[in-house]
A and B are shown apart, each in its own frame.
Chain A
Amino acid sequence: MNRVEGRVKVTGLATYAAEYPAENVAYAYPVQAQIAKGRVKRIDVAQALELPGVLAVLSCEDPPRVAEDADPELALFQRRDVAYRGQFVAAVVADTYENARAAAAAVRVDYDPDDHDVRLSADHPGLYRPDVVNPGFPTDTAKGDVEAGLAQAATTVDVTYETPVLHNNPMEPHAALAFWDAEGRLLVYDTAQGASGSRAAIAKTLGLPPDRVRVVSRHVGGGFGAKGTTRPQAVLAALAAREVRRPVKIALTRHQMFDVTGYRTPTIQRVRIGADAEGRLTALEHVAYEQTSTLLEFAEQTAVVGRVMYATPNLRTAHRLVRLDVSTPSWMRAPGECPGMYALESAMDELAYAAGLDPVELRVRNDPETEPEGGLPFSSRNLVGCLREGARRFGWERRDPAPGIRREGEWLVGTGVAASTYPARRMPCQAVATVRDGDFLVQVAAADIGTGARTALTRIAAGALGVAPDRVHVELGDSDLPRAPVAGGSMGTASWGSAVVRACEELRRDGREGRADTTEEIKRDAELARHAFGAQFAEVRVSSVTGEVRVSRLLGVFAAGHIVDAKLARSQFLGGMTMGMGMALMEETPIDEEFGGFLHRDLAQYHVPVCADARHVEAVWLEEHDDALNPMGSKGIGEIGIVGTAAAIGNAVFHATGHRVRELPITPAKILAPRF
């Protein structure tokens, strides 16, 4: 189905957070820490205050009031400590954006710098074991005896992979526009992946009851997780508006987005696998080393993939974190699964070579009956089907496994495969469906961050009501609407759709209105392992002259329950796979070890794939019938597309060259280094 808001978007009529008109609006511009660690000695605002149009300067010299238990990344200007380079230490509010920006440059900040530490390593003395990893999984698991399993294996691999800092880089910058009314109620137009969650976070930060806050995010220009939790701009707009008693608007620059809106933690991952003579796993161990900040613990669930993927009697997974003088990592498309499957699926490929087995066959042989760690039955699992269908479409049976032997001129050609997985969850949600002018109005505080959620929900509601989609109007992106969970974790459509279906069913019974709250329904969900699976196949060409890698073909086959809308789904899969290609070959934000913070903070330096890179990217899916998910029978599809792509490409690079690069991204420098 075409996007219901497609027309307003392409004609420029769709209003994004920073675009709402506001009378008498003022602008806030942050001042950022220029040290990586230490204390703010003094902030001198005298000169800034004299500049034209300046209304106020907020800083730790006169901290604005926020709740004591506020999230430390959101509790702006409360402390003199600097936790990372780029942290907001003050902000100027002025009558225009330009005046605010000019005055921000005139704020003088004196620091007492301390030595900083921004480098993650697997032997860092500060490594510790967090209590849980996101979003609540056990940090470590152990089943059987990994050492014994490895000792009895016919083949083993013991390999370490590294992934760099990655930034989400949605097209629309983080922005907010805040209004306070005379009764002390706050309205924020925010770039949020969930209006209900953003309202809760802003209310909590400011110490307000949630019903005094309203968040509106009707259109959001991408998020990929970076807008999944409230970011400082929303709080800054609210604080500044309260201070100057005018509406205040803020839109972050690309540089500031790199600094304060989160990123994917770098990871170092050691994977050990043993297999018997038939290629059945005798042991699997996956240990992930990652970073968080000194402000907050963010523990990416990287090693959880081993708990789901392959049958083995001896299984150990573990996560270790170190607190560095960096901004807090945050959610980025398929957090955990994406970096974790890069390592696990690369290691499986290495095992296939070591054991002399076809990598598709190796995975098929180790497909488990029940979830390897917990032993729960799967609601549905079609990894094998995806692998087989992908192999058929890709022409895998013609593949000669020998690495480094296919040449087209200077180009070495290779193919690789990797599996994908992502949990299929849903969360409690409310929705209301009513009859309006003979048509149907469906209300839910869902978020459409460019994914087509509005369109998918229109289609779901139309199906539940038994009417044509053009008779359904879906209203979302407003915390005044029935409460809904975040557009994240690939559970948006499943959660919102459940509530929408129930509300529509109720409307059909009632004739006028239907209200739903899925809290109780979800509590009754059977205990099952619910995951989507997929298989990705890549063909690459690697220049033996330059080390350039070009992906000539990428095929993803997914089994993700019932696909609600083919057009929307395809673009989610292709987008995820293309982003995975970026992770494989080019994306990386270097950390500045000397001064702290990040280098390459713009899109001329942080490269994401362009059209010329995505030459032949194809996504297909197997129809899957799974009644144990939700009324639609759907699994989330927003994230699985990026899971496994980098491994498939890395495996293809090995097949092409005979050289295994174990640190992403796979750049010409790394291809050239040892080989040519």
Chain B
Amino acid sequence: MKPFEYARATGPAEAVRDYTPGTMYLGGGTNLVDLMKLGVAEPDRLLDVSRLPLDGIEEARDRVRVGATVRNTDLAAHPLIRARYPMLARAVLTGASGQVRNVATVAGNLLQRTRCTYFQDVTRPCNKRRPGSGCPAIAGDHANLAILGASDACVATHPSDLAVALAALDAEVHVTGPGGDRIVPMPGLHRLPGHEPERDTVLAPGDLITGVELPPPPPGASLYRKVRERASFAFALVSIAAVLDVAADGTVADCRIALGGVAHVPWRAERAERALIGGPATGEAFLQAAEAELEQAAPLPRNAYKVPLARNLIVATLEELAP
């Protein structure tokens, strides 16, 4: 582990001002410190933002603002979240373990890095960790990697459950940085790997996430479901966050579907949504929509199971949500 300095930020603006290349913001450290021990992250300096006064969950008219340093446990347990966004609470609770969630922050969760095994091992090549070194996952171990939106350079997935729920809820990520304040709408925070797999997100150096804003809960019923071979404490093979609103005449008034475990980003299934809205809320329509979405899938030999898995999951979840 490379020696580093540690400092505690005094405020969001101060943190950004204090940022220098080589600095990394520190949240709960549950991902970053692991990666430092592995030699994957080698900051010169950690700027601890976990104690910034960004730990509130507040109502602002019909919206809810969640601070960046709110711990995952507190987010999932908060009455406002449980009452209005139960799907979000459920997504958070399916992540990691109680101990990890007690420490992990909202911002840190969104910015956690891929669990691709090569990425985590500095003795092996990886384009994301060492640009240009190659992507051994494509010929090797990719059983839990991407089927959608991957590139020849990288087939990693983003592992967060929280991000998938936020993508379905059209949440906004609030960012402050050297370039000023801005709002990044989900799922736009994360980017596809393309030729620059080293860049997970659209954030620029020094950008600090200050919070997440949730628009009013969409009408209809919602659900988060996560698939894994172990009953708890495992990353998703595939997960789904879905909202379905069916009108009185049986047609789909509104629909949001986001998938986890399938791409470098929380994958908003826009094709499926478009196919469904205005049409009948039937099992057949759900299947056609799922297939329309997954037509774009480009699976590898060992993750091809994710295509039927995602398809089944979309159909079963929408069926469960349909009245």
A and B co-occur in one complex: yes
Residue B4, interface by CB 8 Å: no
Question: Using Cβ atoms and an 8 Å threshold, which residues of chain B touch A105?
Answer: 39
A611 to B231, CA, bound (A): 9
Would A665 and B229 count as touching, CB distance under 8 A? yes
Count how many chain A residues have C-beta atoms less than 8 Å from C-beta atoms of the other chain: 39
Question: Using Cβ atoms and an 8 Å threshold, which residues of chain A touch B139?
Answer: 594
- Indicate which residue in B143, B229, B232 contacts A585 across the interface (CB closer than 8 Å): B229
Question: Using Cβ atoms and an 8 Å threshold, which residues of chain B touch A585?
Answer: 229-230
Q: In the complex, identify which listed stretch (B17-25, B170-178, B267-275, B306-314) lies at the interface while the others stay far away.
A: B306-314
Would B313 and A599 count as touching, CB distance under 8 A? no
A549 to B117, CA, bound (A): 24
A101 to B3, CA, bound (A): 12
A547 to B237, CA, bound (A): 11
Minimum CB–CB distance from A644 to chain B (whole Å) comes to: 21
Residue B123, interface by CB 8 Å: yes
Contact of A548 with B232 at beta-carbon distance under 8 Å, contacts A604-B115, A605-B115, A672-B305 already known: no
A599 to B140, CA, bound (A): 10
Residue among B123, B136, B313 with most chain A CB within 10 A: B123
Would B230 and A609 count as touching, CB distance under 8 A? yes
A599 to B309, CA, bound (A): 24
Minimal Cβ-Cβ distance residue in B for A667: B229
Would B228 and A605 count as touching, CB distance under 8 A? no
Question: Using Cβ atoms and an 8 Å threshold, which residues of chain B touch A670?
Answer: 305
Minimum CB–CB distance from A617 to chain B (whole Å) comes to: 13
Residue A182, interface by CB 8 Å: no
A612 to B238, CA, bound (A): 19
Question: Using Cβ atoms and an 8 Å threshold, which residues of chain A touch B143?
Answer: 669
Residue A207, interface by CB 8 Å: no
Minimum CB–CB distance from B76 to chain A (whole Å) comes to: 17
Q: Compute the total of residue contacts between A and B using a CB distance below 8 Å.
A: 86
Question: Using Cβ atoms and an 8 Å threshold, which residues of chain B touch A374?
Answer: none
- Indicate which residue in A599, A600, A676 contacts B312 across the interface (CB closer than 8 Å): A676
Would A34 and B123 count as touching, CB distance under 8 A? yes
- Indicate which residue in A102, A548, A600, A607 contacts B117 across the interface (CB closer than 8 Å): A600
Residue B155, interface by CB 8 Å: no
Residue A18, interface by CB 8 Å: no
Contact of A594 with B140 at beta-carbon distance under 8 Å, contacts A548-B228, A668-B309 already known: yes
Minimum CB–CB distance from A632 to chain B (whole Å) comes to: 38
A673 to B124, CA, bound (A): 30
Contact of A550 with B140 at beta-carbon distance under 8 Å, contacts A668-B309, A673-B305 already known: no
Residue B247, interface by CB 8 Å: no
Minimum CB–CB distance from B103 to chain A (whole Å) comes to: 15
Would A668 and B117 count as touching, CB distance under 8 A? no
Residue B181, interface by CB 8 Å: no
Question: Using Cβ atoms and an 8 Å threshold, which residues of chain B touch A595?
Answer: 124, 136
- Indicate which residue in B1, B228, B313 contacts A102 across the interface (CB closer than 8 Å): B1
A594 to B237, CA, bound (A): 24
Would B231 and A610 count as touching, CB distance under 8 A? yes
Residue B202, interface by CB 8 Å: no
Question: Using Cβ atoms and an 8 Å threshold, which residues of chain A touch B115?
Answer: 604-605
Residue B6, interface by CB 8 Å: no
Minimum CB–CB distance from A361 to chain B (whole Å) comes to: 32
Minimum CB–CB distance from A531 to chain B (whole Å) comes to: 33
Contact of A613 with B231 at beta-carbon distance under 8 Å, contacts A594-B136, A595-B136, A669-B143 already known: yes
Would B227 and A599 count as touching, CB distance under 8 A? no
Question: Using Cβ atoms and an 8 Å threshold, which residues of chain A touch B228?
Answer: 548
Question: Using Cβ atoms and an 8 Å threshold, which residues of chain A touch B304?
Answer: 673
Which residues 233-257 of B have a CB within 8 angstroms of A?
A: 233-234, 237-238
A667 to B237, CA, bound (A): 11
Minimum CB–CB distance from A11 to chain B (whole Å) comes to: 21
A544 to B311, CA, bound (A): 12
Would B230 and A545 count as touching, CB distance under 8 A? no
Q: CB-defined interface of B154-171 with A at 8 Å, one 1/0 digit per residue?
A: 000000000000000000
Residue A15, interface by CB 8 Å: no
Residue B13, interface by CB 8 Å: no
Minimum CB–CB distance from B190 to chain A (whole Å) comes to: 21
Residue A592, interface by CB 8 Å: yes
Residue A410, interface by CB 8 Å: yes
Minimal Cβ-Cβ distance residue in A for B312: A545
Question: Using Cβ atoms and an 8 Å threshold, which residues of chain B touch A590?
Answer: 141
Residue A112, interface by CB 8 Å: no
A599 to B302, CA, bound (A): 15
A550 to B229, CA, bound (A): 8
- Indicate which residue in A609, A612, A668 contacts B237 across the interface (CB closer than 8 Å): A668
Minimum CB–CB distance from A52 to chain B (whole Å) comes to: 10
Minimal Cβ-Cβ distance residue in B for A665: B229
Question: Using Cβ atoms and an 8 Å threshold, which residues of chain B touch A601?
Answer: 121
A609 to B39, CA, bound (A): 29
Residue A586, interface by CB 8 Å: yes
Contact of A668 with B230 at beta-carbon distance under 8 Å, contacts A545-B312, A605-B115 already known: no
Which residues 604-623 of A have a CB within 8 angstroms of B?
A: 604-605, 607, 609-613
Would A612 and B316 count as touching, CB distance under 8 A? no
Would B316 and A545 count as touching, CB distance under 8 A? yes
Minimum CB–CB distance from A659 to chain B (whole Å) comes to: 13
Question: Using Cβ atoms and an 8 Å threshold, which residues of chain B touch A604?
Answer: 115
Minimum CB–CB distance from B212 to chain A (whole Å) comes to: 25
A580 to B232, CA, bound (A): 18
A477 to B87, CA, bound (A): 53
A102 to B312, CA, bound (A): 49
Would A607 and B141 count as touching, CB distance under 8 A? no
A676 to B310, CA, bound (A): 12
- Indicate which residue in B117, B140, B232 contacts A605 across the interface (CB closer than 8 Å): B117
A610 to B140, CA, bound (A): 28
Would B1 and A586 count as touching, CB distance under 8 A? no
A594 to B133, CA, bound (A): 14
Question: Using Cβ atoms and an 8 Å threshold, which residues of chain A touch B230?
Answer: 585-586, 607, 609-610, 612-613
Would A548 and B227 count as touching, CB distance under 8 A? yes
Minimum CB–CB distance from A166 to chain B (whole Å) comes to: 15
Would A668 and B229 count as touching, CB distance under 8 A? yes
Which residues 264-323 of B have a CB within 8 angstroms of A?
A: 302-305, 308-309, 312-313, 315-316
Would A549 and B229 count as touching, CB distance under 8 A? yes
Question: Using Cβ atoms and an 8 Å threshold, which residues of chain B touch A668?
Answer: 227, 229, 237, 305, 309
Contact of A586 with B140 at beta-carbon distance under 8 Å, contacts A545-B312, A600-B117, A672-B308 already known: no
Question: Using Cβ atoms and an 8 Å threshold, which residues of chain B touch A599?
Answer: 117-118, 121, 140-141
Minimal Cβ-Cβ distance residue in A for B305: A669
Q: CB-defined interface of B91-135 with A at 8 Å, one 1/0 digit per residue?
A: 000000000000000000000000101100101100000000000
A668 to B124, CA, bound (A): 28
Question: Using Cβ atoms and an 8 Å threshold, which residues of chain A touch B118?
Answer: 599
Residue A110, interface by CB 8 Å: no
Can you list 7 A-B pairs with a CB-CB distance of less than 8 A?
A544-B312, A546-B238, A594-B140, A611-B232, A613-B232, A667-B229, A672-B308
Measured CB to CB, the residues of B under 8 A from A are 1, 39, 115, 117-118, 121, 123-124, 136, 139-141, 143, 227-234, 237-238, 302-305, 308-309, 312-313, 315-316
Measured CB to CB, the residues of A under 8 A from B are 34, 98, 101-102, 105, 410, 544-550, 585-586, 590, 592-595, 599-601, 604-605, 607, 609-613, 665, 667-670, 672-673, 676
7 pairs of A and B residues whose beta carbons are closest in the complex: A669-B305, A612-B231, A612-B232, A545-B316, A546-B227, A545-B312, A672-B305
